[in-house]
Amino acid sequence: MSSPGTNVLARTVLARLTSRGETLATAESLTGGLIGELLTDVPGASASYLGGVIAYATRLKATLAGVPEVLLATDGPVAASTARAMAAGIATRCGADWGLAVTGVAGPDSQDGHRPGEVHVALVGPSGEKIIQERHVLTGDRSAIRRRTAEIALALLADALE
pTM of the entire predicted model: 0.96
Specify the pLDDT at position 130: 85
- pLDDT single digits (tens) 6-34: 689 999 999 999 999 999 999 999 999 99
Question: What's the angle, vertex CA 106, arms to CA 97 and CA 161, rounded to 5?
Answer: 25
**pLDDT (average), residues 144-161:** 98
Q: How many Å apart are CA 38 and CA 46, to the nearest integer?
A: 13
Q: How many Å apart are CA 16 and CA 83, to the nearest integer?
A: 23
Specify the pLDDT at position 4: 64
Specify the pLDDT at position 2: 56
For residue 3, pLDDT beyond 70: no
Q: How many Å apart are CA 40 and CA 143, to the nearest integer?
A: 20
Q: How many Å apart are CA 76 and CA 69, to the nearest integer?
A: 9
The domains of the chain, with CATH numbers, are: 4-161 (3.90.950.20)
Residue pair 101/90 in contact (Cβ under 8 Å)? The answer is yes
More confident position, 112 or 123 = 123
**pLDDT (average), residues 74-88:** 98
**pLDDT (average), residues 57-82:** 98
